Structure 1
Amino acid sequence: MKNSLFHEPVPDWLEKICIVLLVCSQIMVSGIPSNAIALVTSFLGDEKDTIQFIYYGGVIGSACAYPLIGRIMRYFRKRQLLLICISLELVLLILSAFTRNNLQLFLCNFLLSSVKMVCLITCLGIFLKKFNPSNSRGLLYGIYYALSFSLSQLYSYWVALILQTYSWKYTFLISLPGIFISFLIVIFLMHSRRMEKKYPLYQVDWLGYLLFVAASLCLCFVCIFGQRLEWMNNDLIRFMSAAAIVGYILWTIRMLVVKRPYVDVRVLVKYSHVRVGVLLMVALFFVYNTFSISTEFMKVNLGYNDPYVAATNLYLIIPFVIFIPVTGIWLHKVHRVRESLFVGFALFAVYYLYTARFFYPEENSNFFLIPMVIRGAAYGISITSLSYYASVNLPAADNSHRAFFSIISRSVIAAPITSALWLDRFNYFKQKQYDIVSAQYGMDDYRVSGLWKNLVSGHLKAGSSLEQAEQLAHGSMHGMIYKEALILSAQNIYYVLAAISILLAIAALSLKVLNIHYVKEKNKYPLTYMDV
């Protein structure tokens, strides 16, 4: 087929199947899974914060590789590039399973995530040329996000099942079948002809790349270690905060003065909808990135283990596969984001109000079906709308720079900051509520004294000594108080998030900048670097 990467004898139906397999296999490639952080911590003998920092190192590596992809894809032939990337992924996955310290794990995770981004965008370009030939922005995000978010939830569930029985190192094996299938597809079904002009790699702004990576790592360090080190009361946190700020300033200055910058920051000045899109991406994660609260409730109050929590999160797939494509089709047809953004943020308000009222220890997993569907619909509709909004009516030369800011605004900036913010507030409210609830558990209350006697008596009957029985009873009382404090704290935060979501929904209806004057001629080029 003309302009196809596949050999001419390959039938169209087989080509489509192979392309889907390539994209799906790349989505499933992962370094340290977020739900494996605790087990990696115990194996390497490190603190949880250190492993979480390594996890975010992979996120930064993936995002920061994006601006380099265009040059890399035009330097290598596509078949050659895929073979190199898939081979590197295989090697890095195997090496990750044999790491012995956190530095080795950081390097493997960072490099694996970077290579994955290059390979994923390459495969995505092939996918969109076959399934989205009109280069519709709405259909692009409607197709890709539904596929990516759903497979990510399945991956997390499989990881949780493996961790229940096997070592965390076996989580890296999940990606291997897809990698082997991808390798066979590229080797036997793709040709090696060059299909665009070759560009040299020496024109890449590597110093700009390193500056942004370093500044982002400093920011993540502050967000992850800040609470334990008491934020600005600690010299190291102050130093890393200053390093992050200075690093971003130096990076911005360099992007404005060099001839071929790593990223053209002028797109934020030239296009108001790109600026607004980036800010709303941050706002979206501000109301979305609260999984740690609901996860702790499920583990502490309901006694769920990791596989059960992951299974509960599978409910998200239902709204992802329904509402994201519907939103993409809506945007493809009417080119308006105001209504869909309003619906997205309004659904966040509904989710937090609904869930806050039903935080009770006696609830079961079926309770989470409706909230998870609402939450998934809210996020899917909002992220699809914002991605579409920021990507329209841009010259092709500026779109890759716009895409970089859309990616880093949510994954590198918003994700660690909002996670640290809500975790800090959640812990603060838990301590405050714990003190309030503890004061109500006085022994002068006959109900409390009766409960204490029953607990001590139960442990004495189980064979404990009086001292042991009192210690165990004290632990039980502490657990009950903590659970109640957790529920009250979660409710406080959820009501605040509901109010913020309502304000964002109102803003979506009020901001004139959200109006899109769609110009068809400006949106005919493909959104990826894949111009085959």
Structure 2
Amino acid sequence: MAEAQVQVQDEDSLVEYGFTRVIITITAILCALLEIIDTTIVNVALNDMRGSLGASLTDIAWVITAYAIANVIIIPMTSWLSKQFGRRNYFAASIIIFTAASFLCGNATNLWELVAFRFIQGMGGGALLVTAQTIITETYPVAKRGMAQAIYGMGVIVGPTLGPPLGGYLVDNFSWPYIFYINVPIGIIATFLTIIYIKSPKYGEKLKASQVDWWGIIFLASFIGSLQYILEHGQQDDWFADTTIIILTIVSGLGLLLFIWRELVYEHPIVNLRVLKDYNLRIGTILTFILGFGLYGSTFIIPIYTQSILGWTATDAGLLLVPSSVTTALMMPIIGKLLERGVPQKYLAAIGFVVFFIYSYWMYNMMTPDTGSEHMFWPLVARGFGLGLLFVPITTLSLSTLRGKDIGEGAAFTGMMRQLGGSFGIAIITTFVARLSQQHRVDLLPNLSKIDFKVQERLQAYQQMFMSKGFSVNESLDKAYQLMEGSITLQSTVLSYMDIFLYLGILFLICVPFVLMIKKGKGKVDASAMH
């Protein structure tokens, strides 16, 4: 009883009001946005980086891979590191590491320098997400924590879609180092605000160096790091036809088994796996994984489709996602208010999964080689509506039956699963597009018979077009066949994108009964011990 009273007093000491709460909220959201935008902002700058650094397409992909690997390694350890160094100190140090690494990335003179600095940037950035969520949540009183999660959710959901248009603008108008330099002034301001305004909860005794779970850290890094590499490079290296992929699959599997064993038997584990005994958290981590799959997967596939099929610029492709982001941002405060008024989270999440299915099915029916931005506007608004309904309810449901310091571990699990879901989503979508395109091509070819009147008519029209441009009869016929070949490739690729959207929609629809099975938490979500 006495311990519970101390916990409530400590929780109350972290709640802020008025101007201070506004400043802390802005600081935490800025840091979360910095981290998330940097996961997607580099995508549109890769070609410019290749040119100036003299790198191959395979090598330049390491700029994304290094950051992602560092992210998913550090996120599960965030709770433990906060306890060791104090929340405010750890958060401020993470911002400084992220900001300094951003400056070094912009100054990199060769590819592997850039990759090394991106890894360091990811180590600093990974900590910002979960810690920012915790800081925002415990700055608000318990009755307002649905709204706190909604405010944090705005940054997490909107961030991935802000990256491509912002990156496109900076690359088109300045040069690629500025996508990193833009972090520096924001990072400096956030560091000062953190030191001045953010408080740390009181923790127990710190571990000595000899008590630190070094083996747990090594096993976690080998499992997550290898898995992330496999997901990032699997398709381009032809998966298990590549020796490196096979070796890293074995390393990842062994790392996982040894990590689970170590965390269950060691007295001071780096990640407390016992918290997964909680039913809601187990279901919540799966749903968060699927949310990450849909969020990052759809953010990845839409710019690829618009650029490769419709011939749009990187900036235009990025701007297409803005209506979706604005809709999500507008939805978040509404969802927060609904949760405060006692609307069950599982019903909101179930509606969100249904809306995301409707968006996916809409895109499946609407995609053609000539689809315009006006056709995609309302489906993308539906996407934003669905994501708004999903993020906050799933996050609060996952943590709703946890108590005390277990909530910090739960937040770390959901953060890691969202990132891993995104990595799996991008890897699986990339593979499926390649495989399904080949299958559709095989299926389409028998429909093109030389004796078919429509085929002959199309070939003759193409041939006449090239002959009118001065090519000979034979040259024009060859070019007509090439154009027909290109048309088949284009159509088969569009069909593969249609399939992806259909499968993505079905995946989200399957989640609805599982959401409705979630137990109701006892009262409001208490995130006071989230680290």
**Interval of TM-score (by shorter of Structure 1 and Structure 2):** 0.7 to 0.9
Shift of 1:331: 2.9
In the alignment, structure 2 segments of 5+ residues that lack a partner are: 1-11
2:182 is matched with which residue: 145, 150, 174?
Answer: 174
1:35-89 deviation digits (Å, cap 9, x = unpaired): 3344434544444444445424323323432344445445557776565444333
Say whether 1:435 aligns with 2:449.
no
Aligned to 1:515: 519
Aligned pairs for 1:493-508 within 5 A: 493-508=500-515
Query: CA 1:217 to 1:70, structure 2 compared with 1: closer, same or farther past 3 Å?
Result: closer
Counterparts of residues 377-392 of structure 1 (less than 5 Å): 377-392=385-400
- The aligned residue for residue 107 of structure 1 is 116
Report the residue type matching 1:453 in the other structure. Answer: Q
* 1:446 to 2:453 alignment: yes
Measure the CA separation in 2 of the matches of 1:84 and 1:237: 35
Cα deviation, residue 369, structure 1:
1.3
Question: Are the aligned partners of 1:77 and 1:192 in contact in 2 as well (CA < 8 Å)?
Answer: no
1:239 corresponds, among 231, 247, 252, to 247
Q: Which residue of 2 aligns with 1:20?
A: 26
**Within 1, Cα distance between the matches of 2:413 and 2:484?**
49
- Retained in 1: the 8 A contact 2:161–2:299? no
Q: How does 1:116-515 map to 2 (within 5 A)?
A: 116-119=125-128, 125-130=134-139, 132-134=140-142, 136-183=144-191, 185=193, 199=206, 202=209, 203-268=211-276, 270-288=277-295, 289-334=297-342, 336-412=344-420, 414-464=421-471, 469-470=476-477, 472-509=479-516, 511=517, 514-515=518-519
Contact 1:135 1:526 in 2 (8 A): no
More off after superposition, 350-359 vs 28-37? 28-37
TM-score between the two structures when normalised by the length of structure 2: 0.85
Secondary structure at 1:28's aligned position in 2?
helix
- Per-residue deviation, 1:262: 0.7
Which stretch shows the higher mean deviation, 237-246 or 201-210?
201-210
Deviation of 1:347 (Å): 0.9
How many residues align? The count is 515
Distance in 2 (CA, whole Å) between partners of 1:78 and 1:401 is 14
Check 1:93–1:331 CA distance in 2 against 1; reply closer, same or farther (3 A cut): same
In the TM superposition, what whole-angstrom CA distance separates every residue of 1:422-468 from its partner, at most 9, and x where no partner exists? 32222222112123323333333333333333333433443556666
| Deviation at residue 128 of structure 1 after TM alignment | 4.0
Counterparts of 1:329 and 1:144, CA distance in 2: 14
Q: Give the CA deviation at 1:186.
A: 5.7
Question: Structure 1 stretch 216-225 or stretch 437-446: which is displaced more?
Answer: 437-446
Q: Distance in 2 between matches of 1:15 and 1:231?
A: 49
Aligned equivalents of 2:412, 2:198: Cα separation in 1:
30
CA distance in 1, matches of 2:446, 2:352: 41
Distance 1:44 1:282, change over 3 A: same
Separation of aligned partners in 1, 2:457 and 2:106: 53
Residue identity in the other structure for 1:404: A
Residues 152/355 of structure 1: CA separation in 2 closer, same or farther (3 Å cut): closer
Q: Distance in 1 between matches of 2:439 and 2:324?
A: 32
Identity of aligned residues (%): 19
Letter in 2 for 1:528: M
C-alpha displacement of 1:370: 0.9
Structure 2 CA distance for partners of 1:41 and 1:329, relative to 1, 3 Å: farther
Does the CA contact (< 8 Å) of 1:28 and 1:152 recur in 2? Answer: no
Q: Does 1:36 align with 2:52?
A: no
* Structure 1 residue aligned with 2:5: none
TM-aligned CA deviation for residue 418 of structure 1: 2.8
Partner of 2:528: 526
Contact 1:137–1:391 (CA under 8 A) maintained in structure 2: no
User: Shift in Å at residue 14 of structure 1?
Assistant: 7.0
Deviates more, 1:308-317 or 1:277-286: 277-286
State whether residues 220 and 256 of structure 2, in contact with CA within 8 Å, keep that contact through their aligned partners in structure 1: yes
Tell me what 2:7 maps to.
none
Could you say what the CA RMSD is over the residues aligned between the two structures, in angstroms?
3.3
User: Residues 271 and 323 of structure 1: is their aligned pair in 2 closer, same or farther, counting only changes over 3 Å?
Assistant: same
Displacement of 1:119 in angstroms is 4.7
CA-to-aligned-CA distance 1:479-510 (integer Å, 9 cap, x gap): 2222211222222333333333333224434x
Cα deviation, 1:334-367, whole Å, max 9, x if unaligned, reads 2623211220111122112211111123331121
**Contact kept in structure 2, 1:80 and 1:192, CA below 8 Å:** no
CA distance in 2, matches of 1:136, 1:201: 37
1:63–1:404 CA contact under 8 A, matched in 2: no
